[in-house]
Amino acid sequence: MFYYGKSSAYDEIGIVATWVMIAYRMAQVISSMGKVIGAYVYLTEFIKPPVQYPTVATLDSFCILGGFGA
């Protein structure tokens, strides 16, 4: 997010900086989950069974791996 570079440091505003960074991270997680759900919907509508099942499972696997990487 572009706010990370523009936010104040801990030395300037104290503990509020920590709470602001946590709020930014929560907003980032919520927005990324919206993208994952959108990808699920797109894949289930675009790809027909039986190819649909391993495709959605692959997306789920990569989302889990991405969570471990983060």
In whole angstroms, what is the distance from residue 12 CA to residue 23 CA?
Answer: 18
4-14 pLDDT tens trace: 566 666 667 77
Quote the domain boundaries for residue 55: 3-69
> Confidence class of residue 1 from pLDDT cuts 50, 70 and 90?
very low
30-53 pLDDT tens trace: 777 778 888 888 888 888 889 989
**What's the chain's average pLDDT?**
79
Query: Which token pair is 64?
Result: 């889990």
Domains in the chain, number:
1
- The pLDDT value recorded for residue 58 is 92
